[in-house]
Amino acid sequence: MTNPNAPKILINCSNLHVGGAVAVASSFIDCLSRFEDVRAEISLLVSSLVLKNLHALGTDTSIFKSVVVLDCYGIKSMWQGVDKYFVGQDVVFTVFGPSYFLFKRTHHLFGFAQPSIIYPNNSMTKRMGLISRLKLRAKFKLQELFFSRADQFVVELEHVKVGLEKLYFFKGKAIDVVYSTVDSVFSQTERWQPVTIPDTTSIKLGIISRNYPHKNLACLPMLKHVLRERHSLDVDFFVTFPEQEWQQCTPFFRENIVNVGPLTLTQCPSFYTAMDGVIFPSLLECFSAVPIETMMMKRPLFASDLPFIRDCCHEHAYYFDPLNVDAMADVIADYYAGLPAAHEKPLADAYEFVQGYPGPNHRAQAYIDLVLKAAAQLQHH
């Protein structure tokens, strides 16, 4: 990837520290490292966690021009001087923006996955107090401003593109859709890393997620109690929160839920394998890999009956009203009241459905094509 006339590209993941965004960035770089004919000089600016994931995946990062580790956090990254790494680059691709910088020195492509910006009046914000709601609105307005400094965007589903095109700051900007995917590690059992899950006789339902308010995970302890009291069903719920988030949870939550801590991408398949099903009560998403990973791992998905999930899963999930714990419990109890043999075909159908999603190499190729196209257009100007 070294050629003096080749475009200079920086892939920026220095702002990614958690969840699905880290997995997407790691998968993209891992695929890119194995592409043989990328006519560009590619440098990486990655967070510690992205680097940890790359090591776990066995990625050969030596083929990139440089690999710099920098942990940027929100607007503080302006004082960390993140933009000095942009100097001399033809195109900077921030896999999930925004990137915060003072001086715009190069062409920027941002990935966009911030649902609160395109859906400001959602069921999560409606439940908040006025002060909290105003603070959140101010935060996302600031983010929107920094997002708007990009020259072009890439999103994971059509509904996100449609939402962005309605916003003033994004009018006239190029917005491409590159569909997300299940990483190849899910089909390569030899790369799976173990996860310690307590052995219990109860039904195990889990979710790989941070504890963001829009994930609606505060409902899980009450759901556990309703399942036991109304349906005589013992269910243990498993989450993957970082220690700081776990400590911020209420004592009631921590007494009733099991936290296995954050996972690397190579540990995710082991987590799904240990579960009897996946719970996904989210109120708001641009896209989440959890539903398609669940289908890939042939586990039942109990999910919010909202358009962004139906877009992704069609009829291959067991849908509930995420604001009604009794309704959630009914759906889960109905499923486990059935005989295991009755579930085999629906799970096989869901697995077949998810095979229709593009593979990780296809996504990586689509990303790098967007970047190289932008670089080529700049050279012509």
CATH number, domain at 260?
Answer: 3.40.50.2000
CA–CA separation, 284 and 323 (whole Å): 12
Residues 147 and 221 in one domain: no
Residues 278 and 301 in one domain: yes
Contacts of 139 (CB under 8 A, 6+ apart): none
Residues 303 and 363 in one domain: no
pLDDT (0 to 100) of residue 381? 65
- Cα distances from 375 to residues 34, 38, 174, 323, 381, in angstroms, run 21, 13, 14, 46, 10
Q: What is the mean pLDDT of residues 114-140?
A: 82
Residues 168 and 219 in one domain: no
Residues 248 and 190 in one domain: yes
Q: What is the mean pLDDT of residues 226-238?
A: 97
pLDDT (0 to 100) of residue 1? 45
Residues 348 and 207 in one domain: yes
Overall number of domains in the chain: 2
Is residue 171 domain-resident? yes
Is residue 158 domain-resident? yes
pLDDT (0 to 100) of residue 378? 85
Q: What is the mean pLDDT of residues 21-41?
A: 92
Residues 73 and 106 in one domain: yes
The answer to whether the peptide bond before residue 322 is cis (omega within 30 degrees of 0) is no
Q: What is the mean pLDDT of residues 287-296?
A: 93
Residues 230 and 346 in one domain: yes
Is residue 138 domain-resident? yes
Contacts of 96 (CB under 8 A, 6+ apart): 13, 15, 16, 21, 24, 25, 110, 111, 112, 113
Is residue 2 domain-resident? no
Minimum mean pLDDT among 10-19, 122-131, 139-148: which range? Answer: 122-131
Residues of the domain holding 293: 186-354
Is residue 255 domain-resident? yes
Is residue 26 domain-resident? yes
Is residue 52 domain-resident? yes
Question: To which H or E segment does residue 111 belong?
Answer: strand 107-111
pLDDT (0 to 100) of residue 3? 60
pLDDT (0 to 100) of residue 68? 97
Residues 126 and 216 in one domain: no
Model confidence at 198, pLDDT cuts 50, 70, 90, reads confident
Q: At 257, which amino acid appears?
A: I
From the CB of residue 225, how many other CB atoms can be counted at a distance below 10 Å? 15
Residues 160 and 196 in one domain: no
Token pair listed for 54: 């790359």
Residues 49 and 148 in one domain: yes
Is residue 142 domain-resident? yes
Q: CA dihedral in degrees (298, 304, 305, 309; nearest 10)?
A: -60
> Are the C-beta atoms of residues 30 and 59 closer than 8 Å to each other?
yes
Residues 76 and 199 in one domain: no
